[in-house]
Chains A and B, each alone.
Chain A
Amino acid sequence: MLAVQQLRKSFVGPDGARVPVVAVPEFQLAAGEQLALRGESGSGKTTFLHLIAGILAADAGRVEIDGVEMTALGEPARDRLRAEKLGYIFQTFNLLQGFTVLENVLLGMSFGPRGADRAHARAVLERVGLGHRLGHFPRQLSTGQQQRVAVARALANRPRLVLADEPTGNLDTRHAGEALALIREVCREQGAGLLLVSHDEGVLSQFTLRRDFAELNQAVREARP
Chain B
Amino acid sequence: MTLPLIVYRSLRQHALSTLITAGGIALAAGLLMTVWRVKVESQAAFTQTSAGFDAVLGARGSKLQLVLNAIFHLEASPGNVAAADAEAIRRHPMVKAAIPIAVGDNLRGFRLVGTVPELFSSVEFAPGRKYVLEAGGRLFSIDAREAVAGSFAAQRLGLRVGSVFRPFHGLNFDPKAEHAEEFTVTGILAPTNTPADRVIWLPLRGIQTMAGHDPKAATDVSAVLLQLRTPTAGFMLDMLYNKQGNRLTFAFPVGAIMAELFGKISWFDRVLELVAYLVALVAAGSVLASIYNSMSARQRDLAILRALGARRRTVFGAVLAEAAVIGALGALAGLAVHFALYVGVAGLIRAQTGVVLTPWAFHAVLVVCPLAMTALCALGGIVPALKAYRTPVAETIAPVS
Q: Using a CB–CB distance below 8 Å, which chain A residues touch chain B? A: 41-42, 46-47, 50, 53, 55-56, 75-76, 79-80, 82-84, 86, 88, 90-92, 94-99, 103, 106-108, 110-112, 116, 153, 157, 165
Contact = CB atoms under 8 A, between A and B. Distances in A.
B9 A80 contact: no
Given A98-B9, A98-B13, A107 B308 contact: yes
Contacts of B401: 41-42, 46
B5 A55 contact: no
B239 to A, nearest CB: 77
Contacts of A107: 2, 5-6, 305, 308
A75 B391 CA distance: 14
Contact of B311 (A46, A76, A90, A96): A76
Contact of B398 (A50, A82, A97): A50
Interface of B: 1-2, 5-6, 9-10, 12-13, 300-301, 304-314, 393-394, 397-399, 401
Contacts of B6: 107
Contact of B308 (A41, A46, A83, A97): A83
7 contacts: A82-B307, A86-B309, A90-B397, A94-B307, A107-B5, A108-B308, A110-B1
A116 B2 contact: yes
A46 B398 contact: yes
Nearest to B395: A56
A75 B306 CA distance: 11
A53 B5 contact: no
A47 B307 CA distance: 14
Contact of B10 (A56, A75, A84, A98): A98
Contacts of A165: 398
Contact of A111 (B9, B301, B310): B310
A112 B306 CA distance: 12
B309 A84 contact: yes
B297 to A, nearest CB: 10
A79 B301 contact: no
B294 to A, nearest CB: 11
B314 A94 contact: no
B311 A55 contact: no
A111 B308 contact: yes
A103 B310 contact: no
Interface centre among A83, A99, A103, A157 (most CB of B within 10 A): A99
B309 A98 contact: no
A65 B64 CA distance: 85
A92 B399 CA distance: 10
A107 B6 CA distance: 9
B306 A55 contact: yes
Given A46-B401, A111-B314, A99 B9 contact: yes
Nearest to B10: A98
B401 to A, nearest CB: 6
A88 B306 CA distance: 12
A110 B2 contact: yes
A48 to B, nearest CB: 11
Report the 5 A-B pairs with minimum CB-CB distance, sorted nearest first: A83-B309, A111-B309, A98-B13, A56-B394, A55-B393
Contacts of A112: 309
A142 B305 CA distance: 22
A86 B308 CA distance: 9
A79 to B, nearest CB: 5
A82 B12 contact: no
Contact of B309 (A46, A47, A80, A106): A80
A111 B401 CA distance: 29
A79 B310 contact: yes
B377 to A, nearest CB: 21
Centre residue among B2, B312, B313 by max chain A CB count within 10 A:
B2
B309 A82 contact: yes
B2 A96 contact: no
Contacts of A80: 309, 311
Given A42-B401, A107-B5, A111-B2, A94 B304 contact: yes
B393 A96 contact: no
Given A42-B401, A79-B306, A98-B10, 5 more contacts: A76-B311, A80-B311, A99-B5, A107-B305, A116-B1
Contacts of B10: 98
Contacts of A79: 306, 309-312
Nearest to A81: B309
A94 B307 CA distance: 10
A151 to B, nearest CB: 14
Contacts of B2: 107, 110-111, 116
A98 B394 contact: no
Contacts of B309: 79-80, 82-84, 86, 111-112, 157
Contacts of A47: 394
Given A50-B394, A79-B310, A96 B5 contact: no
B5 A103 contact: yes
B386 to A, nearest CB: 16
A55 B307 contact: yes
Nearest to B308: A108
A97 B300 CA distance: 10
A145 to B, nearest CB: 18
Contacts of A103: 5, 9
Contacts of A90: 397-398
Contacts of B394: 47, 50, 55-56
B393 A56 contact: yes
Contacts of B304: 94-96
Contacts of A41: 401
A95 B307 CA distance: 11
A96 B310 contact: no
